[in-house]
Amino acid sequence: MTETTDPIRVRSAPAGSKGSMPFRATPPSALGEPMIWLTGGALVLCLVMIVGLVAMIITQGISTFWPRPIDRVTLNDGTVFLGVPTEFQEDPPQTLYRTGNRDIGTEPFRWVSQSDIQSIDRPEYAVMLERSAWSVWLGIPERAILVNDQGEPTIVAEGPKAVLAFIDEHHAKARARWHEIESLKKHDLGRVNKRIEASRLRVREAELATRREQKPGGNFGLGAFVLVLGLGIASAGAAWYVGRLFMRGDEQQQLEGPSRGMRSLRMALVLVSLGLLLAAWLHAPWKDRNITEAGLAEIRQAAAEREAKYQDQYAIILARIAELEAQDERYRLEVIDPRTGRFAPARQTEPDNPMRLSQIVRLVDTNAMGSSEKVGVYLSRWWEFLAHPPREANTEGGVFPVIVGTVMLTLLLTFTVTPLGVIAALYLREYAPQGIVTSTVRIAVNNLAGVPSIVYGVFGLGFFCYTVGSYIDVGSDPSVRLPAPWWWVLLATTFLAFVAGYAASVWAKPVPGSEPTTMNRVLAWTARLLWVGVFIGVVVLIVRTPYFNGFFEARAADGSPTFGSRGMLWAALTLALLTLPVVIVSTEEAIAAVPNSMREGSYGCGASKWQTIRRIVLPGAMPGILTGAILAMARGAGEVAPLMLVGAVKLNEDLPISTNAPFLHFDRSFMHLGFHIYDLGFQSPDSQAARPLVWTTTLLLLTIVVSLNLIAIIIRARLRARLSGSTV
C-alpha cells in the first residue's frame, strides 16, 4: 500500500537534495476554521431561538381551548369550591384554580396551597357555563324553571340529570332567540338610526348653507357660463390641433417630434382650457344657491315626515324585540355555587332572579365527557374564536373583527407603500443625476428606517388626522381663505409659472450629441425654481381656497368628525411612511441588479427611456420589488405603537368593510391583532383569564403574517420562473 503525503504539511525537497523537507503546519486561524465554527454556531443558536419561540407559541396557543377537568376542592377549614386547575407551582407547591362566579363577588382565580387541601374529587355533574356576560360560572345544576305569562315560576326539572336534559332540549332555541334579538338591535335598529341621522344631517347642511356668506364671486349668468365653457372647449380643441400639426410635416419632423415652441404652446393651451372649465364648473348658474328661510322650512318639514316614518319602523322593531325578550325571560336555570349556596343571577342588579337559559353560550361538563365530546368542545371554541366578536373586555369570545381589521390594514398598507416606494426608487436610480443631492437623499432614506415607530404615530396623528382629515371634513379655516379675485390671480400666476417651468425644462435640454451650454444650465436651474414655486402655489391654492367647505361639514359641526379623527386610512398611510425606506432600498437594489446590457439592447432597438423601464427594467426587478413589499408587509402587520395613536381601538364591532355603501369604510377605527395582544397582556381587568388568549392571539397573528407572506413569495417565485423561462 502506497503511503500518501499531506501536501500542506510536507514540501518537496529542492533539486539535488535527498529526501523531503518538512515545514511548520499552517495554523487553524489562517485556514479560517475558528470563524467557520463561530459563524456556524451563531447560525445554529439563531435557529434554535427562532424554532423554540415558534414552538412555544404553537404549543401554548393550541392548548388554550382544550376542556380541562372540574375539581371539587375541600379545604382544611371546611370550605368547598369548584375550580378548573390552570397552573401549578412547585416551590411552594400550590395550584391556581379558575373558580369563576365573579358576579356574586368571588375571586375568579384562586391560588391554593397543597397543604391547605383536605381532599379533591371530580363530581360527575359539575358544569362550567360560558356566559354572554360575567365570564364563566361553575356550579351544580339544581332546577330548571319555566315562568308563565302571569310571571309565576314553575319548576319543570329538578336534579342535575333532569336539568341537563332540559338544557339539551331548549338551549338551541334559546340561543337562536338571543341571536335574533341581537341582530334586531344591531342591524335593524342600526339601519333605522342611520336613516334618521342622514335625515337630520340634511337639515343641518341646509342650516349651515343659510348661515354661510354669499358664494365668493357669485354665480355666472347663463350667457357668461356658455361663453366661459365655450372658450374652455375651444382651448382644448386648439391644444389638440397644435399637437397634430407636427404630424403633417415631412418624415424627419415626424421622427423628431414636435418642436420646443410647439410643445410649450400646447401646454399653455391645455392649462388655459383647464382654468376656463374650472371657472365654469365653480360658478355654474345652478350651483350653491343660497337657501332662503322658506326653503329651509320646507326641508325641515320633509325631514320631519321622513323621521315620523322611520320612528314607526323603529317602534315595530322594538315591539318584536320586546316579544322575543318576553319569551326569553320564561326559561331560567338554577346552577348552585357549592361555596356560597347561591345560584347564577340573571343580572347583578337582580340577585334573586335565576339566570336565563339564553345567557349560556356553552355548557361544558368535562368530568362526564368522552374524548370525542372534548374534541367537539375544542373545535367549537376555535370556531367561536375565529368567527365571532369578543366579549367580556376581550377576555372571551372571538376575534373576527380583529382579523378583518388586521388583514385590511396590511393589504391597504401594501397597496399604498409599494407604488410609492417603486416610483421613488425609479427616480433615484434611473432619472436623478447621481451626485451629492441624490446621495444625501439615500442617506436620509436609510436613516428614516431607524426612526422609532412611535414618532411616526405622532406625525400621523398630527398631520393626517388633525390636518388633512380636518380639511376633508370642513375645509380650511375661514380666517385663512383668500378672497375669490385674489385666488384666481394666484391660480393664473401658478399656471404661468407652470408653463414657464415646462418651457424652461424643454429648452434646457441640449441638442442631441452636444454638450450642455451655459444657457442650458441656467434654464435648468430656472426650471427647478419655477417647479418649486408651482408646488408652493398649488399648496396655497388648496389650503386657502374659498370654494371648499368640506365633505362632512354637518357631522363635524355636531362634534362627530369623519376623517378628522383616527381611522384605518390614516393608520395605513402612517405605516406606509414607516415602511417606505424598506421598499425604496430593496427596489433600488433590484433595479441596479438588472444588467445594463439589457437596457442598451432596448435603446438599440429604438425604445425610449420610459419604454425601456416599463418593458425591461421593471419586469426584471419585479422579484426584488415583491421582496420589499413582503418585508414592508411583515413589519407593518406587527406594529402596535403607531396604531395606538392613529386608529386601533380596544373594542369596535363595526367592521371597516360592509354590505352598505360605500362598502369600504376607511374612516372607521378598527381592531388590530397586535394591539389586541397588548390589551390582553397589559390592560385586561382579568389578567389570569386573558393570559392563555395572549398565546392564541399571537399564534393567529403569526399565521396571518406567514400566510400573506407565502402568497407574495409564491407570486415572486412564479415571476422569477417566468423571467428565467422555467415553470413552477
Contact (Cβ atoms closer than 8 angstroms) between residue 300 and residue 227: no
Neighbours of 85 (CB within 10 A): 16
Whole-number Å distance between alpha carbons of 186 and 660: 14
216 cis-preceded (ω within 30 degrees of 0): no
Closest by alpha carbon to 253, among 244, 240, 266, 241? 244
Among 28-42, 156-170, 293-307, 576-590, which is the least confidently predicted range? 28-42
Q: What is the 3-state secondary structure (H, E, C) of 252-286?
A: HHHHHCCCHHHHHHHHHHHHHHHHHHHHHHHCCCC
Which residue, 397, 384, 359, is CA-closest to 651?
397
* DSSP assignment letter at 657: B
Q: Are 584 and 425 in contact (CB under 8 A)?
A: yes
Q: Which amino acid is at 257?
A: G
CA of residue 138 relative to chain centroid, distance: 39
Kind and range of the H or E element at 675?
helix 673-678
Band the pLDDT of 288: cuts 50, 70, 90: low
| Strand residue runs (E) in 606-713 | none
All three cell numbers of 30, joined, read 489562517
Confidence of residue 54 (pLDDT cuts 50, 70, 90): very high
Residue 62 has pLDDT above 50, yes or no: yes
Q: CA 692: distance to chain centroid?
A: 25
The CATH number given to 397-475+549-724 is 1.10.3720.10
Contact call for residues 125 and 147 (beta carbons, < 8 A): no
Residue 3's pLDDT is 47
The residue-averaged pLDDT of 624-634 equals 88
Please name the residues in contact with 231: beta carbons below 8 A apart, sequence gap of 6 or more: 276
Neighbours of 535 (CB within 10 A): 12
3-state secondary structure 23-66: CCCCCHHHHCHHHHHHHHHHHHHHHHHHHHHHHHHHHHHHCCCC
SS3 track for 380-449? HHHHHHHHCCEECCCCEECCHHHHHHHHHHHHHHHHHHHHHHHHHHHHHHHHCCCCHHHHHHHHHHHHHC
| CB 534 within 8 Å of CB 497 | yes
In this structure, what are the phi and psi dihedrals at residue 662, rounded to the nearest 5 degrees? -90, 20
Distance CA 119, CA 510 (A): 97
- Identify the band that residue 138 occupies on the pLDDT scale cut at 50, 70 and 90: very high
The arithmetic mean of pLDDT across residues 255-260, rounded, is 53
**For position 35, what pLDDT does the model report?**
78
| pLDDT digit string, tens, across residues 531-562 | 999 999 999 999 998 888 888 888 888 888 88
Calculate the alpha carbon distances from 271 to 259, 492, 497 in Å: 19, 9, 11
Q: Would the pLDDT of 8 be above 50?
A: no
The predicted structure's pLDDT at residue 74: 94
Which DSSP letter does residue 607 get?
Answer: -
Cell digits of residue 587:
427596489
**Residue 462 is placed in which grid cell?**
398630527
Binning pLDDT at 50, 70 and 90, where does residue 484 land?
Answer: confident
As a whole number of angstroms, the longest Cα–Cα distance in the chain is 126
Q: Which residues contact 518 (CB under 8 A, 6 or more apart)?
A: none
Stretch 296-316: mean pLDDT: 91
Q: Is pLDDT of 255 > 50? A: no
- Whether residue 30 is predicted with pLDDT greater than 70 in this model: the reply is no
Tell me the whole-structure pTM to 2 decimals.
Answer: 0.86
Distance CA 589, CA 624 (A): 8
User: Above pLDDT 90, what percent of the chain?
Assistant: 43
- Residue 377 predicted with pLDDT over 60: yes
Q: CA–CA separation, 197 vs 533, rounded Å?
A: 44
Residue 490's pLDDT is 92
Please state the rounded mean pLDDT for residues 701-717.
87
**pLDDT score of 365:** 92
Is residue 259 over pLDDT 80? no
Mean of the pLDDT values across residues 613-625? 89
Residue 29, pLDDT score: 62
| Interval 151-162 mean pLDDT | 89
- The phi, psi pair for 152, rounded to 5°, reads -95, 125
Other beta carbons less than 10 A from residue 223's beta carbon: 9
What 3-state DSSP class applies to 550? coil
- Grid coordinates representing 20 are 523531503
Tell whether the model's pLDDT for residue 71 goes beyond 90. Answer: yes
| Beta pairing, strands 331-336 & 350-356 | antiparallel
What's the rounded Cα separation, in Å, for the pair 672 and 55? 23
Q: What does the pLDDT look like over 465-475, one tens digit per residue?
A: 999 999 999 88
Please give the pLDDT value at position 2: 46
pLDDT in tens, 327-357: 999 999 999 999 999 999 988 888 888 999 9
The residue type found at 582 is V
pLDDT band at 245 (very low <50, low <70, confident <90, very high): low
- Most confident by average pLDDT, 124-128, 273-277, 594-598, 686-690: 124-128
